[in-house]
Amino acid sequence: MKKVLAIVGPTAVGKTAMSIKLARQFQGEIISGDSMQVYRGLDIGTAKVTAAEKQGVVHHLIDVRNITERFSVADFVAEASRLIDEIIARDHLPIIVGGTGFYLQALLEGLELGGDQFESDKLRRQLMETVQQAGKAALYERLKKVDPKAAEQISPNNVRRVIRALEVYLKTGRRFSDQVNHPRRYDPLIIGLTTERQKLYARINQRVDLMMTRGLLEEARYLYDKGGNRLQAGKGIGYHEFYDYFENNIDLSTAVDNVKKDSRHYAKRQLTWFRNKTKPTWYDVIDCPDDVKRLQHDVEEWL
């Protein structure tokens, strides 16, 4: 099977730096597994790798969509699959790096995504109308009837995931909970980066402060002026928190604090997802120098 290295973990834990280090050591090319880095013009809030940071390492799936376009998990699987084949054909190592857990799960486990069903705006509007007219509980009850197993795994408050599960069923006739229909094509090594919780939160806060000095507010304003929450790109953490500030509902300090708070909560959700879904081997490359050596040794042994 095709070998694929994946580096996962919460925001601000050092995935970018470690991925470049490993890519240089093992002749790798990096595929971004981040749902926001695909968008052109959103560089600061997505912590997009800079030209200097790349150190000559080839990166893929960065700046491949305009902010007015959508990018679904089905798009990611299709494009990442193609890139993996091309990278292997060059005798290089594909390295997927990012914090969007469902992207990685869909790719590595061969989830059946029904082609472009997530782009079905008409169906999505109909499901959203159910929420607006009858409430999210009614939508959740609908999911429980057609796919009780998926309903057990999805929170009733996670309307986006409930809609996604219903879309799969309504478009394909197959239950979302049964969407593992393809044999595994890859031999993955999944590396998880982590560190002590309070240290991670401090790094997140510091990174947001640094982003502000680099122009995060201007980037958020640009996104707001283009449509804000009406765009898929506009819903990203680090951007939507400023919209109330632009509308004079909160002050700037509160908006920045909200970015930090939402980023910390997101990091916690990321850790939970990866622990439960992808089950990586964990390393603390921030506080434990021996973990860096162990990680490099484990990759070499796997290869």
Which domains are assigned to the chain? 2-111+182-302 (3.40.50.300), 117-178 (1.10.20.140)
DSSP labels for 211-263? HHHHTHHHHHHHHHHHTGGGSSGGGSTTTGGGHHHHTTSS-HHHHHHHHHHHH
Select from 175, 176, 135 the least CA-distant residue to 157: 135
Predicted confidence (pLDDT) at residue 115 exceeds the cutoff of 70: no
> In the chain, what percentage of residues exceed pLDDT 90?
70
Question: Is 12 annotated among the ligand-binding residues?
Answer: yes
Q: Residue 50, annotated ligand binder?
A: no
**pLDDT surpassing 90 at residue 178:** no
The verdict on whether residue 148 carries a ligand-binding annotation is no
The answer to whether 135 is annotated as binding is: no
Q: Is 114 annotated as a binding residue?
A: no
Residue 272 assigned as binding residue: no
Mean pLDDT of 226-253: 97
Judge whether 8 is annotated as a binding position: no
Residue 118: pLDDT over 80: no
Residue 173 assigned ligand-binding role: no
pLDDT digits (tens, 9 = 90+) for 61-84: 999 999 999 998 889 999 999 999
